[in-house]
C-alpha cells in the first residue's frame, strides 16, 4: 500500500432502491418500458443518492448499487464462463427468517473478465455525477467459488482441479482491477464476505463433510485476492467487506473472525477492511490485534443497517476506546456493518432511517478523529 486512506467515514455500498426504480424495473420486466427508459430512471436515482451521500458529509460515494438486483450476481453474470439459471425450487439461499429467489450460478467454460463488462460504464457514470471520490463495490473472487455448488461446475478442467478455477479467477480479477483503473477508478471495493462465513462453526463443519478443509479454503481465498490485486497501480486503494449475510434485515452465519483474521489482514494485500461488528454474532474485537502496523485501515461496523434504531454516539465512542486496545486508533475508521440493500428488496428500514445512519457515520468520525 502506497498511501494512507483518505477518509475516516465510509459505507459499504448499497442503498435502498427508491420507489421510482422499483416501479421501472417491474415495468421493464413486463416489457412496458425499454432498457433505455429504465436506465434514465436509474440515472436520476443515482444522481439523488449521490446528493444524499454528499449532503451528510461523506467524501466517498457509491452509486448505491441502484442498477443491481443482487450485490454479487449482477457482476458475476457478465463474467465469461458463468451462466445463471432459475430453478423450480422453493428458495435460493436460506437466511434466518427469509429466503432469496431461486437463482443459481453455474460455470460452463473458462472464466474471464470481458472488456465490455457493464459495471465499467456504471463506474464512469458515477464518476461523472459526483465532486468527491467515487467508489464501486464488486463481489470478491471467493464469491465466484463459494456461491457455485460443486454440481454446478460443468467445465471439466475446473471440476477435475478446483485450483485451476482459483488460478483463473485470480487472473480474471486482475484484469478487472486494471480495467476499473483504466476507467478512472482509484478506489475499488471487493465484497469477500465468505471469509466471515468460514468462521461459522456450522459452515466449517459443512465444508469438512464436503471433503474441504475450511482453513485451506480461507488461505486459497486470501491467495486469490492477493494475486488479483498485487500488481495494482500504486495510487489505487483496494477495500474488502466481510459480513455474515444481509437480506431483508436477516443473516446466515455467525462466529468470531479468529479463524480467518491472520489471512484477512496479512495474506490478502488489501488496504481497507469493512468488518461487521453490530451484534455478538461477530464475536469480540480481539482479532484486530493481528492487523499489521502501518497504513492498513479497519472500519468496524458498529452501526447496523438491519434495524432503524439509532446507535448512541457515546456508545460508539466507547466501542472505539475498546477497539483501540487491539489496533492503533489511527488505523481505524467508521462505516455501517453492511449495505442497506444487498438485494433490490432492501432491509426493513426507511429512507429516513438510512439518512440518519449515514449522518451518524460522519458524526462519529468527527467526534473520534475530528474529520470525516
Question: What is the distance, to the nearest Å, from the Cα of residue 142 to the centroid of all Cα atoms in its chain?
Answer: 12
Given a cut of 90, whether residue 19 has pLDDT beyond it is: yes
For residue 283, being part of any structural domain is answered with yes
pLDDT at 335: 97
Averaged over 64-77, what is the pLDDT? Answer: 90
**What would the DSSP string read from start to end of 273-297?**
EEEE-SSGGG--SGGGGGSPSSS-E
What nine digits make up the cell of 358? 449515514
For residue 14, being part of any structural domain is answered with no
Confidence of residue 323 (pLDDT cuts 50, 70, 90): very high
- Contact indicator for 77, 103 with CB cutoff of 8 Å: no
Find the domain containing 43 and state its range. 19-68+117-140+162-369
Statement: the pTM of the whole predicted model exceeds 0.85: yes
pLDDT at 280: 87
At 177-222, the pLDDT tens digits run: 999 999 999 999 999 988 998 999 999 999 999 999 999 999 999 9
For residue 93, being part of any structural domain is answered with no
Averaged over 247-276, what is the pLDDT? Answer: 87
Taking phi over 0 as left and psi of -120 to 50 as alpha, with beta for the rest, 241 belongs to beta
Q: How far apart are CA 198 and CA 204, in angstroms?
A: 6
At 87-110, the pLDDT tens digits run: 776 554 443 444 456 788 999 999
Given a cut of 50, whether residue 293 has pLDDT beyond it is: yes
Averaged over 167-179, what is the pLDDT? Answer: 98
What's the whole-number average pLDDT of the chain?
A: 91
Task: Enumerate residues 6+ apart whose C-beta is below 8 A from 315.
Answer: none
- Where would I find the H helices in the chain? 19-29, 35-55, 73-76, 118-128, 143-146, 156-160, 162-182, 194-197, 201-209, 214-229, 258-266, 313-323, 351-369
What's the CATH code of the domain at 233? 3.20.20.210
Given a cut of 90, whether residue 356 has pLDDT beyond it is: yes
What nine digits make up the cell of 360? 451518524
For residue 7, being part of any structural domain is answered with no
**237 against 97, higher pLDDT:** 237
**67 against 100, higher pLDDT:** 67
Given a cut of 60, whether residue 279 has pLDDT beyond it is: yes
Confidence of residue 122 (pLDDT cuts 50, 70, 90): very high
Number of domains, the chain: 1
For residue 185, being part of any structural domain is answered with yes
What whole-number percentage of the chain has pLDDT above 70? 92
For residue 25, being part of any structural domain is answered with yes
pLDDT at 243: 84
Averaged over 291-302, what is the pLDDT? Answer: 93
For residue 12, being part of any structural domain is answered with no
For residue 5, being part of any structural domain is answered with no
Amino acid at each position: 500500500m502506497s498511501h494512507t486512506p483518505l477518509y475516516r467515514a465510509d459505507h459499504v455500498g448499497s442503498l435502498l432502491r427508491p420507489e421510482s426504480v422499483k416501479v421501472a424495473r417491474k415495468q421493464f420486466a413486463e416489457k412496458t418500458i425499454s432498457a433505455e427508459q429504465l436506465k434514465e430512471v436509474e440515472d436520476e436515482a443515482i444522481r439523488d443518492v449521490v446528493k444524499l451521500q454528499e449532503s451528510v458529509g461523506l467524501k466517498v460515494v457509491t452509486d448505491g448499487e441502484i442498477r443491481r438486483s443482487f450485490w454479487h450476481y449482477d457482476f458475476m453474470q457478465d463474467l465469461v464462463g458463468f451462466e445463471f439459471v432459475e430453478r423450480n425450487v422453493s428458495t435460493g439461499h436460506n437466511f434466518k427468517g427469509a429466503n432469496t429467489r431461486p437463482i443459481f450460478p453455474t460455470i460452463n467454460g473458462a472464466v474471464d473478465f470481458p472488456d465490455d463488462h457493464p459495471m465499467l460504464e456504471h463506474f464512469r457514470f458515477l464518476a461523472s455525477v459526483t465532486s468527491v471520490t467515487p467508489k464501486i463495490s464488486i463481489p470478491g473472487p471467493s464469491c465466484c467459488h463459494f456461491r457455485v455448488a460443486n454440481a454446478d461446475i460443468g467445465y471439466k478442467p475446473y471440476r477435475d482441479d478446483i485450483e485451476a478455477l482459483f488460478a483463473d479467477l485470480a487472473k480474471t480479477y486482475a484484469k478487472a482491477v486494471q480495467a476499473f483503473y483504466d476507467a478512472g477508478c482509484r478506489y475499488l471495493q471487493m465484497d469477500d464476505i465468505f471469509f466471515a462465513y468460514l468462521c461459522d462453526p456450522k459452515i466449517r463443519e459443512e465444508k469438512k463433510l464436503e471433503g474441504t478443509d475450511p482453513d485451506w479454503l480461507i488461505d486459497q481465498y486470501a491467495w486469490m485476492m492477493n494475486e488479483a490485486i498485487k500488481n495494482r497501480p500504486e495510487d489505487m486503494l483496494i477495500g474488502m467487506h466481510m459480513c455474515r449475510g444481509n437480506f431483508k434485515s436477516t443473516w446466515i452465519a455467525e462466529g468470531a473472525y479468529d479463524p480467518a483474521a491472520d489471512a484477512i489482514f496479512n495474506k490478502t494485500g488489501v488496504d481497507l477492511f469493512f468488518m461487521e461488528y453490530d451484534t455478538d454474532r461477530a464475536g469480540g474485537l480481539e482479532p484486530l490485534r493481528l492487523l499489521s502496523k502501518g497504513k492498513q485501515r479497519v472500519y468496524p461496523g458498529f452501526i447496523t443497517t438491519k434495524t432503524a434504531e439509532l446507535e448512541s454516539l457515546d456508545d460508539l465512542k466507547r466501542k472505539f476506546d475498546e477497539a483501540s486496545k487491539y489496533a492503533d486508533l489511527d488505523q481505524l475508521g467508521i462505516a455501517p456493518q453492511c449495505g442497506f440493500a444487498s438485494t433490490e428488496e432492501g432491509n426493513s428500514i426507511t429512507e429516513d432511517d438510512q439518512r440518519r445512519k449515514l449522518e451518524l457515520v460522519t458524526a462519529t468520525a468527527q467526534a473520534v478523529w475530528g474529520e470525516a
